[in-house]
Amino acid sequence: MTTTLTSAWADNLRFLRALVTNPKSVGAIFPSSPALAQAIARQIDPAAGPVLEIGPGTGVVSEAILERGVAPQNLTLLEYDEAFAQHLATRFPQVHVVQGDAFDLDRTLGARLPFGAIVSCLPLLNFPSAQRLALMDGLAARLLPGAPLIQFSYGLHAPVVPPDGFAVTCTAYVLANLPPAKVWVYRQN
């Protein structure tokens, strides 16, 4: 219990440090709560194929994805911040951690596709609309047919319109998070 609390506070500090260095990219005051992380992970079918998480930060959602039953070798974490990426590689030694830019998927992921689910924890509303749309198109092209693209957001509405041929639904509104957050699932029609 003490160890869990200590590591939670260590993660909060890590997060705060990254927020001060790069506020636009981190885009939140605290890591996601376990309740939000679980609401996201519930949308994943562990048997559907490899899973990609972009913007994993300190790894709270990654942990929920692993607890959902996704094998560590089937999980790829794509994180921009070098200190977060190093922390993730230590915390989840069997998971594939890539340090790089989610807005440059060809370079960062290469031939790594397709995925049975993609989770995006990026603060999308901090990026221009054209950049968000291009990212969603790139992610949609890396999904198996019918697989979910899961994004959380603090706004009332979905943070980006669905790519062509996709629809979006809100699957959870998590009050136990600072601030409360909605979970959005984009899926091919």
Question: What's the CA gap between 171 and 43, in Å, rounded?
Answer: 8
Of the candidates 103, 112, 134, 188, which one interacts with ligand SAM according to CB under 6 A? 103
Shortest reach from residue 189's CB to ligand SAM, in Å: 28
Between 61 and 118, name the residue whose CB sits nearer to ligand SAM: 61
Question: What's the CA gap between 109 and 116, in Å, rounded?
Answer: 15
Of the candidates 38, 51, 55, 66, which one interacts with ligand SAM according to CB under 6 A? 55
Shortest reach from residue 90's CB to ligand SAM, in Å: 16
Q: 135 to each of 79, 172, 178, 179, how far by Cα in Å?
A: 15, 23, 26, 24
Question: What's the CA gap between 160 and 14, in Å, rounded?
Answer: 28
Question: What's the CA gap between 50 and 48, in Å, rounded?
Answer: 7
Q: Which residues ranging from 14 to 33 are in contact with ligand SAM (CB under 6 A)?
A: 25-28, 31-32
Q: Which residues bind ligand SAM (CB under 6 A)?
A: 25-28, 31-32, 54-57, 60-61, 78-81, 84, 101-103, 121-123
